[in-house]
Amino acid sequence: SLLQEKMEADGFTLVNKGKNKKKHKTKRTTIIDNVSRDPIDVAKVITKIDIAVNDLKNSIFFTDISSNLKNLDVKCKAFWCFGLGHVGDCITARFQFALLILLKDVLGLKNDKVFLCDPIFYEEEIEIIKTYNFNVATENIECMLECSIPTFLFLPHCPKQLSNNLLYSNWSPSSLINLVIFSNSFNNIVERTPTKVLAQNASYIVDAIDNDLVTEIPVTNSFKFNDVFNDLAIHTLSGVDKMNSEFWKSVKPVYDLCDTEFIMKS
């Protein structure tokens, strides 16, 4: 596809290592089928996004996160966002998209270097996103994305499996250091999740934390709506040279099909 060609030209590879042969049907709580729904008024949503951008631009929250990003050692060359949700009818997703628009400018990136991927986007939402000249990946790639260039990855309140897949897809000394991950706090995931669940759903996050490969910059949740940007942190990865070759041997994660929050490829 055109998008795949653009991704490869921009330094990204979809990771299909060790595909699982069995396909399982799973019930989902997130509705991604074309059930009957009211059409989304594209122009009205874009107006609301513009208001959200202005709201955020003048907030202490945005000022703080901007200064954190400007102090990073990594100069990101691309921006990926996974799991944004329904930007057409969800206030949380709309503000997160507004933040994406602002962060792209802080990082000094052109719009065509921004990619969004969420299997639940409606057609009108893809239209809205494309109005900003961003790229939309419609295939559910489950965050299996190998980044050969420094990349900013925004995973707003996404299931831990997505962050875990991202680490797995870049589990080498040369790729891991390309990641700047703005997602739920890795430290909080490790502290708040039972060991058995971590072993199943977040083993790469645990390995990265346990071996001090992650620098986590907390993001203070000072925005007026306290459930839009809560529990987020910026993560950079370093110290990879101290790890031996045995450490970098990787096995594709296999997840519990009962976890309905994580939308697998159908």
pLDDT in tens, 197-221: 899 999 999 999 999 999 999 998 9
For 54-95, write each residue's pLDDT tens digit.
Answer: 999 999 999 999 999 999 988 999 999 999 999 999 999 999
In this prediction, residues 240-247 reach a mean pLDDT of 95
The predicted-structure confidence for 118-172, as pLDDT tens digits, reads as follows 999 999 999 999 999 999 998 888 899 999 999 999 999 888 999 999 999 999 9
- 258 vs 28: CA distance, rounded Å: 9
The 179-184 sheet, strands edge to edge = 135-137, 114-117, 78-82, 151-155, 179-184, 232-237, 214-218
pLDDT for residue 127: 96
